[in-house]
Amino acid sequence: MHQKKGVAILGSTGSIGTQALEVIAAYPDYFDLQVITAQSNAELLIQQALQFQPNAVVIADERHYETVKNALFSEDIHVYAGADALCQVVEFSDVHVVLTALVGYAGLKPTLAAIAAGKDLALANKETLVVAGELVTQRAKEKGINIYPVDSEHSAIFQCLVGEFHNPLEKIYLTASGGPFRGWTTEQLKTVTPAQALKHPNWTMGAKITIDSASLMNKGLEVIEAKWLFNLKPEQIDVIVHPQSIVHSLVQFVDGSMKAQMGLPDMKLPIQFALTYPDRFPTTFPRFNFLDYPSLTFEPADRKTFGNLDLAYQAMEFGGTKACALNASNEVAVEAFLTEKIGFLDLARINATTMEKTGFIAKPSYEDYVAVDAEARRIAASLCQ
Ligand code: NAD
Ligand code: MG
């Protein structure tokens, strides 16, 4: 009998994490869930632990440690707390792949720990590649580990490349839904509320990525993510708005041939493919029906109204710590928008100013990224006052 694939899910209580558990539950003979972690949702983490009986759980917010520990007292499950524990559990010998489904810069340290321990990554946490893509991909290469993309656009490109990894790409097109405010004017965007921005037309996701989708920051982060995952130059990455979210992205080869990956929007598919590659496992997910979508449409992104996309291109072209500063600013600004301290249009404005004001390091070390992230957070926070 083959050895089961040992999986650690960082962020098991989130949108990606809970869908990953559905995938794992469907294939108990193939997967062996070793580790699950959460920031502060102790109740759901406990419920998941009781159902899946992992080897270990981590609650990152230490205030909930007693609750989790007491609830799992009679189970054969190790309970840890604190951010540092995330870096330790990914090293367990029975973990073969680490699904990074936590949100934001917090993913960087455990991702580097997983790479150092020689574990493959199923990467959902795009912010890690935005912040430190050069360092992460360099260390992954040195260790010979694989990074399987979970983000639907990057999974689409990865799926188009299967059997073609040796063939040079001319360019890629990342598709974007355009979010809930596609076609809106600056005037209309002035009064947008968090509740409006949290209503995505095609996907149900965590709050941070949903706001990023509405402000086009998500597509900007994905452009940078694609650069590092597929080793592309900025001019090889294009964005096209496709409101139906059926074509998940496209590649164009040097002979002009284009391939697209299609399907109904459902993150379980890219999550599953990242965990079962190179194999495809049968699913009962709803199938795409052409007649439900008689027309698939494409249009340019409105980069003038939604400034974040251009900021991401600028950061990518600049290199060094520019994208790290942009990401830190955006995390602070999104939080401020969600708590109604700033308006929707302030997001891109604050990001532009923070990027400009934060110190720049062309060849950063890990410590440099940590310092730039902290500096950009301070600047962005002062701009949110
Ligand atoms: P979410 O907010 O629903 O879940 C985040 C998870 O991470 C939760 O389990 C939470 O407890 C944990 N977490 C949050 N902050 C943490 C911290 N500081 N330390 C440790 N754990 C922490 O987010 P999500 O929508 O599932 O997104 C997760 C990642 O996947 C993001 O980087 C996002 O951009 C990416 N992604 C998500 C989707 C999607 O459909 N949701 C699609 C593509 C990519
Ligand atoms: Mg995406």
Q: Is 334 in the pocket of ligand 1 (CB under 6 A)?
A: no
Residue 342 CA to residue 336 CA, distance in Å, equals 6
Burial string for 8-30 (b: 16+ CB within 10 Å, else e) reads bbbbbbbbbbebbbebbeebeeb
Mean pLDDT of 349-376: 98
Domain parsing of the chain, residue ranges: 5-149, 154-304, 319-385
SS3 204: coil
When pLDDT is averaged across residues 118-128 and rounded to a whole number, the result is 98
Confidence of residue 235 (pLDDT cuts 50, 70, 90): very high
| pLDDT confidence of residue 1 | 57
pLDDT surpassing 80 at residue 2:
no
pLDDT digits (tens, 9 = 90+) for 187-229: 999 999 999 999 988 889 999 999 999 999 999 999 999 999 9
The per-residue pLDDT for range 15-69, each reduced to its tens digit, is 999 999 999 999 999 999 999 999 999 999 999 999 999 999 999 999 999 999 9
Placement of tokens 């100013």 in the chain: 353
- Kindly report the CATH number that applies to the domain delimited by 319-385: 1.10.1740.10
In the predicted model, what is the mean pLDDT of residues 170-187?
A: 98
Q: List the shell of residues around ion ligand 2, using CB closer than 5 Å.
A: 151-153
277-318 pLDDT per residue, tens: 999 999 999 999 999 999 999 999 999 999 999 999 999 999
Closest Cα to atom 43 of ligand 1: 151
Ligand 2 geometric centre to CA of 365 (Å): 28
Cβ of 127 closer than 6 Å to ligand 1, yes or no, is yes
Residue 225 DSSP SS3: helix
pLDDT in tens, 340-359: 999 999 999 999 999 999 99
What's the pLDDT at 203? 86
Neighbours of 340 (CB within 10 A): 9
What secondary structure letter does DSSP report for 226? H
Number of H helices, E strands in the chain: 16, 11
C-alpha span between 266 and 139 (Å, rounded)? 31
Instruction: List, for residues 256-265, the tens digit of each pLDDT value.
Output: 999 999 999 9
* DSSP H/E element including 147: strand 147-149
Which is it for the CA torsion 223, 289, 101, 210, positive or negative?
A: positive
Do you find a cis peptide bond into 278, omega within 30 degrees of 0? yes
Q: What is the mean pLDDT of residues 91-104?
A: 98
Homologous superfamily of 5-149 in CATH? NAD(P)-binding Rossmann-like Domain (3.40.50.720)
In short, whether 6's Cβ falls inside 6 Å of ligand 1 is no
Return the H-helix or E-strand segment holding 99. strand 97-100
pTM, two decimals, is 0.98
Q: Specify the residue with its C-alpha closest to ligand 1, atom 21.
A: 39
Confirm if 99 and 122 have CB atoms less than 8 A apart.
yes
Joined tokens for residue 235: 């001019």
